[in-house]
Amino acid sequence: MQENEQKFTSGNVNYYIGQNSLKFLSDYLKKINRFFILVDENTEVNCLPVLNKILSKDITGDIIQIKSGEDNKNLDTCNLIWEKLTNFNADRDNLVINLGGGVITDIGGFTASTYKRGMKFINIPTTLLGQVDAAIGGKTGVDFKEYKNHIGLFSNPESVFIDPVFLNTLNKRQLRSGFAEILKYAFIMDPMLTDIINNRSFSEIGNDWGKIIHKSAIDKITVVEKDEKENGFRKILNFGHTIGHALETWFLKTDNPITHGEAVAAGMICETWLSHEFTGLKEDEMDKIISLIDKSFERIIFKSDTFDDLLSLTKQDKKVRGGSSRYSLLKSSGEAVFDIPVEDNWMLRSLEFYIMDK
């Protein structure tokens, strides 16, 4: 896999990345006897027409529409998808095309992988977050009760098409949300990506989006290639996510939910501070990392009386082993380590740092 390669295979997955990479889709679908396109009400209006324009006229699939949003990433929506597939008489050698963001690729991958013991599926991520993270790496599943991604399986799509054409369909907040994961790759493994970002905020990236998406997608593919099932190394991708997930879950219960990226950006600030305390991240590197995050993300407002709730939410995380939370932290800017035990009082101090630091 080369830095600027548009079409390559890693593991069993074919990747098509870059401007106009969707042009490969028509030929791909000619070999499939029947396909279904999973959309939500937004991607049906904003993204399906883009896809239809690219596909030859004689290539059409049946549409399955679900409601957008994390609230709908649950077993009820799975039932609806399985019912539609059943009514369409879908067969195991048909294909599901997941056209959307992380919710669509998570639930679409899960329902396809479990329908009649497994149908083929491909991902066409339409959000920045999906393009650099959710659509890559085979994590599929749904939320269950209050637990995020509680039911699911590792199951790879046959192909992933990552075309920046869809970025035009996103609002600023959605774009910013994906940028948090891009910053994460820069901090955990990719100093070259830090150079390309060159101290810019997400709204200053301009013509470099294509390059930045390509580099981030390759970073994620490189990690999952080494550790598909998250037995070890893949955990570096969780940097910022232990505290980030707790914040995301806590705010979900309020009238002002925050995006995944906003939560991860806040989590990365706390966990950068923890990295300075625990894993040798130098102070000047910590300051640079935090100032780059602050360029794109305003600090989230929460008070110290929420800290205990946030702490117990980190305990529900799948990364907890034997009661003690294990964090992925930075050793230096561009290098991460994983499975670092962090005691509760340090987690609480990192929240203190976050709200006091500005």
Candidates 39-47, 75-83, 115-123, 229-237 — which segment interacts with ligand GLY by CB under 6 A?
229-237
Cβ distance to ligand GLY smaller for residue 90 or 237: 237
321 is catalytic: no
Alpha-carbon distance 165 to 158, whole Å? 21
Is 102 among the residues that bind ligand GLY (CB under 6 A)? no
Listed in order, strand segments (DSSP E) in the chain are 7-10, 13-17, 35-40, 62-66, 95-100, 120-125, 139-144, 147-154, 159-162, 326-332, 335-341
What residues have CB less than 8 Å from 266, skipping those under 6 apart?
243, 244, 247, 297, 299, 300, 354
Is 73 among the residues that bind ligand GLY (CB under 6 A)? no
Alpha-carbon distance 280 to 241, whole Å? 20
214 is catalytic: no
Q: How far is the CB of 184 from ligand GLY (least distance, A)?
A: 9
Is 139 among the residues that bind ligand GLY (CB under 6 A)? yes
Sign for the CA dihedral angle at 227, 237, 70, 49 comes to negative
Is 137 among the residues that bind ligand GLY (CB under 6 A)? yes
Member of 234, 245, 260, 276 binding ligand GLY (CB under 6 A): 234
Question: 3-state class of 2 per DSSP?
Answer: coil
Alpha-carbon distance 90 to 61, whole Å? 12
Cβ distance to ligand GLY smaller for residue 6 or 149: 149
Is 143 among the residues that bind ligand GLY (CB under 6 A)? no
Alpha-carbon distance 135 to 161, whole Å? 9
Member of 170, 186, 237, 281 binding ligand GLY (CB under 6 A): 237
- Residues numbered 204 to 223 that lie near ligand GLY (CB under 6 A) are none
Question: 3-state class of 356 per DSSP?
Answer: helix
181 is catalytic: yes
Catalytic positions are: 117, 139, 181, 220, 230, 234, 238, 241, 245, 260
Contact footprint for ligand GLY (CB under 6 A) = 133, 137, 139, 230, 234, 237
